[in-house]
Amino acid sequence: MSDTTWQGMQFGLFSVSDITRDPVTGYTPSEAERIRDIVTIAKHAEEAGLDVFALGEHHNPPFFSSSPTTTLAYIAAQTERLIVSTATTLITTNDPVKIAEDYAMLQHLAGGRVDLIMGRGNTGPVYPWFGKDIRQGLPLAIENYQLLHRLWREDVVDWEGSFRTALHGFTSTPRPLDDVPPFVWHGSIRTPEIAEQAAYYGDGFFANNIFWPKEHYQRLINLYRQRYAHYGHGTPEQAIVGLGGQAFMAKNSQDAVNQFRPYFDSAPVYGNGPTMEDFTEMTPLTVGSPQQVIDRYAAMRDTFGDYQRQLFLMDHAGLPLKIVLEQIDFLGQDVVPVLRKELQVNRAAEVPDAPTHAARVAAKYGDAEPRQPRPNANRGDNVTGGSPYQDAPDRQPVQPGAFGAAADRARR
């Protein structure tokens, strides 16, 4: 298994892992069937020439993906170049120590083909299930990520915060592969503070982009780009942006409309709401021919600027596996090859390629051999034998609420 340095953009799929009744046949798959199907979908994405497969995290029915690292490790073992990611890793209700351990382990097993989208999730009841208070959701996201960021970059961490027990001389194991942590995107539907957080750390920002009009996400992305530059990571155009999207295709556009309508009308997310025609006009959902999807998504650059990752939601609303695989074929054969070319045209030289482990290792070490931490419990700290603060980042801790001013400006 190896990490490939992609040129330009990455294209792929993201799944929310819903188990939904097929409104046409009346059939509801079992959990076991849906889990097997998601592996088939991910493997087919690689076969179709896509770059990324991302899986969400949920802890309640009708979703199955309570342990995305387990599923993604299984997928990584059966693929060769596919980047496995999360569509959301819950930074609020997961312990950052466990996130650090789980995703570093996955990174090793996948040969570096791993990244994460951090988010707060959209299921309120999950907070008390894990002993958290939803009213503290934003401070939790800020503090927990601050700790996670340090755990992946400092061999020995001393920590004291508001939401978990203190750490003294703690080392998260395994250390990140090549001493380069997994790349992190911060995902948000509506929260300016998360865009600010992504900018502060120089991480990526992923806009869900499937529910609301483009102007809403444009404001968030513009805030992120401006603050990315403010914190000295580069120009606004060099910020790392990802977008979600939705499409349903047939060779004939009217066939696509007729085939998808019952699934749209019954979908848990938007069923019994706007008509499909209204929803496709207001959001990036595109139901029609492959060319219509190409036209719609090639135009995303006009709204959001050059960006690095485009993910599509395909396996939802009860669509049977056969149809989902057909949709992936449309993407791989008809849509993505054209978008790759069109979105490279007039792409400024300063716009970075999509992040990969291989590229980030090369940027850190050049031609030198990457550092491979080894435990050393007999002298100094318990990994390197040196000072526990030798690799500490030259930044002051981020306090909950530190992003309030920028967030207030974004809301106005």
- For the chain, what is the mean pLDDT? 88
- Angle, helices 321-330 vs 31-47, to 10°: value is 20
Spatial separation of the C-alpha atoms in residues 334 and 45, rounded to whole Å: 14
Tracing tokens 């009708």 back to the chain, one arrives at 62
Percentage of the chain exceeding pLDDT 70: 88
Q: How far apart are CA 316 and CA 93, in angstroms?
A: 25
Number of domains in the chain: 1
- Give the strand pairing for 167-170 and 157-159: antiparallel
90, pLDDT greater than 70 = yes
Question: What does the pLDDT read at residue 286?
Answer: 97
Do the domain assignments include residue 4? Answer: no
Q: How far apart are CA 273 and CA 271, in angstroms?
A: 5
Distance CA(262)–CA(255), nearest Å, equals: 12
Distance linking the first and last C-alpha atoms of the chain = 48
In this predicted structure, which of 88-92, 177-181, 347-351 has the lowest mean pLDDT?
88-92
User: Could you tell me if 204 and 198 are in contact, meaning their C-beta atoms sit under 8 angstroms apart?
Assistant: yes
Structural domain includes residue 313? yes
What single-letter amino acid sits at 406?
Answer: A
Taking 90 as the threshold, does the pLDDT of residue 180 lie above it? yes
Domain assignment of residue 3, yes or no: no
DSSP type of residue 18: B
With CA atoms as reference, report the closest residue to 194 among 88, 123, 103.
88
Residue 2 lies in a domain: no
Tokens 């700290």 correspond to 381
Please determine, for residue 245, whether its predicted confidence score (pLDDT) is greater than 60.
Answer: yes
Question: Mean of the pLDDT values across residues 211-240?
Answer: 94
Domain that holds residue 210: 10-411
Is residue 378, in this structure, part of any structural domain at all?
Answer: yes
Q: Using 50, 70 and 90 to split pLDDT, how confident is the model at 4?
A: very low
Strand partners, 18: 63
pLDDT in tens, 149-172: 999 999 999 999 999 999 999 999
**E strand intervals along 50-134:** 52-55, 83-86, 89-90, 115-119
Could you give the CA distance from residue 62 to residue 144 in angstroms, rounded to a whole number?
27
Query: Cα(352)–Cα(279) distance, rounded to whole angstroms?
Result: 33
Query: Within a domain: residue 1?
Result: no
Which of these ranges, 326-330, 382-386, 395-399, has the smallest mean pLDDT?
395-399
Residue 49 pLDDT > 60, yes or no? yes
Lowest-pLDDT range, 47-51, 95-99, 128-132, 289-293?
128-132
Residue 388 reports pLDDT greater than 80: no
* Residue 24 belongs to some domain of the structure: yes
DSSP 237: G
Instruction: Look at strands 204-207 and 286-288 and give their pairing.
Output: unpaired
Predicted confidence (pLDDT) at residue 402 exceeds the cutoff of 70? no
Question: In the beta sheet, which residues pair with residue 84?
Answer: 53, 114
3-state SS, 333-384, equals: HHHHHHHHHHCCCCCCCCCCCCCCHHHHHHHHHCCCCCCCCCCCCCCCCCCC
Nearest to 38 by CA among 57, 64, 20, 58: 64
On whether residue 5 sits in a domain, the answer given is: no
Q: Is the pLDDT of residue 89 over 70?
A: yes
For residue 168, what are its two tokens? 């003294």
Pair 298, 341: CB distance under 8 Å:
no
Q: For 236, how many CA atoms within 13 A lie in the half-sphere containing its CB?
A: 11
Burial class (CB in 10 A: 0-12, 13-18, 19+), 19: middle
Confidence of residue 396 (pLDDT cuts 50, 70, 90): very low
pLDDT tens across 334-347, in order?
999 999 999 999 99
For 71-117, the three-class secondary structure string (H helix, E strand, C coil) is HHHHHHHCCCCCEEEECCEECCCCCHHHHHHHHHHHHHHCCCCEEEE
- Residue 295 in 3-state DSSP? helix
Q: How far is CA 121 from its chain centroid?
A: 12
pLDDT of residue 385 exceeding 80, the answer is: no
CATH number of the domain where residue 250 is located? 3.20.20.30
Token reading at 15? 């799944």
pLDDT of residue 390: 47
Retrieve residue 97's tokens: 């120590």
Give mean pLDDT, residues 219-223.
96
